[in-house]
Structure 1
């Protein structure tokens, strides 16, 4: 049997309005004894207010939608945690949608969010065209939106992003300062803007140092460990590089795996820089040098931006915040000395051995 507010009012011998005032913690007009009696009956009947009915009156659901591309990537659970921490403190629920980076799933997530009438949205997209000028009005008029990590291809929006070009620059400059010239780069997916921005920073650092950009050692990755592993194998097999800049930490883990297979020592024979500073980086041996963007804090700031926008009735002017990256130097990079011929020969032998498997 479903308990209603009318049942409580009848049992307490008060009006429905009085019970409603108690449930909503309204002060005045109700004696202490009456309030205590109503609260005791609510507890005895194990009554829970109908959030859907309440939202119909207030037009607020106290919930936000969070759309991410890949829950398996350790970057995103840290982001989710940051969003939830702020949202929960403000009594908001977080509805999580995982899209696997699929455009159709992103569109479906936006549709479901609109149906569920969430108060606002935080969105990380893998497909720049998903959110466009055509659907912007119909979504934002009901649910203000904050973009995070990846920028959309629309004219005006609010979001929180890292200065990815600067990050790519300082990561590459670190390797150049360590006397590396042949620096391989494993990119993220071509359609993701932050990957292109990091690549731009990589190329700019080389140009500023007077080092030619070698397109042959810039390989496409997918922000997954396997993609980093496959690309690193090619770079190591071809004896083409002394250092690798992987545009996220997961791909850097793949570089470690490839180096181990080819018996290449990090950093003595191959320096490696990652990107994200995931929480378990320090568990690697050697510990990974990487770009820190404080992912959990990004989630917190994005949630605060959205709640501020909701507090303004969604009318707050669109603006984006760009955070500065920080290079965390650990043990996976070192000064480059010309490799011995025995090292080159060993890599060739390992290549032959791997090719025969």
Structure 2
């Protein structure tokens, strides 16, 4: 027969109620030393509480689901760390679900999380629309928060960064360096960060009186390979742009490789910018000018918001919009400096 809470209580010389409070992560009436002693005894005896079975009774498992589209993208681990650190601080554990940008995997994972009686879900969707996965969550009545996404539905809490402002900042920085032919490599369609960043790009050009030229705009998918492919196609067209703004840093990495293969110098021949400020941005050659998103903070805030929902607290602000910031590095120079470099070649 397995170890029971009676065995734990007997060895710790405490009541069953005290052991139960520790197992259920309740602090009332349990001192820190007693809690630590009970946890150590549980570990020594190999006692692992069945959270799902307990959840059937208490309606709480102290488990949160985290659904991300692509954990291989260096942007998302920082979000996940913020979620995990905050959840752990409040006594919650995390189940991580990576969907590989596939809506069918999203739907499968939502079903799995429901079956495991998670207390809530933090959800970064593949597409922007109020899709089947969101409908499943709404119907399940499981509290959830959208992270790094905006679906513009009043009752759905959201935490994301202002992508319009971010891309507008960096394109205006290119314009301030005398660039007027600025190519653009966007993210995937039907994705709120992609849509916001495209809007920011177009808004910056419009404010500067620069016509939007769709011949120097390409649709990527946030991966290195698409940045490479899009940049190759732009260069093959020979449209004479002097700068390229990429909707994320990974696509900028691919674009840099495409230019390197053609013998194009960055920034002497073409300036380039990214978006996200992942760790690669600061170690590339040249170091990448980009937009920094408060990734860790976004994860922390999403977790805090979800935990408030789970605990039944009143939520006054259901939409938290964080502000990005411009990070100036080596991949952008003034157009006049580029012309001077050309004359000396």
| TM-score, normalised relative to structure 2 | 0.87
**Residue equivalent to 2:162:** 163
Aligned partners of 2:46, 2:253: CA distance in 1, in Å? 51
Aligned partners of 2:90, 2:230: CA distance in 1, in Å? 44
Q: Is the 8 A contact 1:68 1:125 kept in 2?
A: yes
**Residue equivalent to 2:283:** 283
Q: Is the 8 A contact 1:106 1:130 kept in 2?
A: no
**Residue equivalent to 2:91:** 91
TM-superposed CA distance for 1:295, in Å, is: 1.1
TM-superposed CA distance for 1:23, in Å, is: 4.4
**Residue equivalent to 2:211:** 212
**Residue equivalent to 2:236:** 237
TM-superposed CA distance for 1:303, in Å, is: 1.0
The answer as to 2:248 corresponding to 1:248 is yes
Structure with bigger gyration radius: 1
What SS is found at the alignment partner of 2:122? Answer: strand
**Residue equivalent to 1:75:** 75
**Residue equivalent to 1:262:** 262
Q: Is the 8 A contact 2:259 2:265 kept in 1?
A: yes
Aligned partners of 1:301, 1:100: CA distance in 2, in Å? 24
Closer, same or farther: CA 36–249 of 1 in aligned 2, 3 Å: closer
Closer, same or farther: CA 42–102 of 1 in aligned 2, 3 Å: closer
What SS is found at the alignment partner of 2:15? Answer: helix
Aligned partners of 1:137, 1:36: CA distance in 2, in Å? 38
Q: Is the 8 A contact 1:107 1:130 kept in 2?
A: no
| TM-score, normalised relative to structure 1 | 0.84
Closer, same or farther: CA 187–101 of 1 in aligned 2, 3 Å: same
**Residue equivalent to 2:21:** 24
**Residue equivalent to 1:107:** 107
More off after superposition, 221-230 vs 296-305: 296-305
Aligned partners of 1:70, 1:46: CA distance in 2, in Å? 35
* Residues 36-71 of structure 1, C-alpha deviations (whole Å, 9 max, x = no match): 999997676443333333323321111100000011
TM-superposed CA distance for 1:153, in Å, is: 5.5
Aligned partners of 1:2, 1:333: CA distance in 2, in Å? 65
Closer, same or farther: CA 41–226 of 1 in aligned 2, 3 Å: closer
TM-superposed CA distance for 1:300, in Å, is: 1.2
Which residues in structure 2 correspond to 1:27-66 (within 5 Å)? 45-66=45-66
Closer, same or farther: CA 292–41 of 1 in aligned 2, 3 Å: closer
**Residue equivalent to 2:144:** 145
Closer, same or farther: CA 41–118 of 1 in aligned 2, 3 Å: closer
What's the RMSD between the two structures over aligned residues? 3.2
What SS is found at the alignment partner of 2:70? Answer: coil
Aligned partners of 2:163, 2:43: CA distance in 1, in Å? 53
TM-superposed CA distance for 1:308, in Å, is: 1.9
Aligned partners of 2:261, 2:44: CA distance in 1, in Å? 65
Q: Is the 8 A contact 1:269 1:339 kept in 2?
A: yes
Aligned partners of 1:157, 1:312: CA distance in 2, in Å? 15
Aligned partners of 1:159, 1:118: CA distance in 2, in Å? 19
What SS is found at the alignment partner of 1:171? Answer: helix
**Residue equivalent to 1:173:** 172
What SS is found at the alignment partner of 1:96? Answer: strand
- Matched residue count: 336
TM-superposed CA distance for 1:136, in Å, is: 4.7
Which residues in structure 2 correspond to 1:327-346 (within 5 Å)? 327-337=326-336
**Residue equivalent to 1:193:** 192
Q: Is the 8 A contact 2:224 2:253 kept in 1?
A: yes
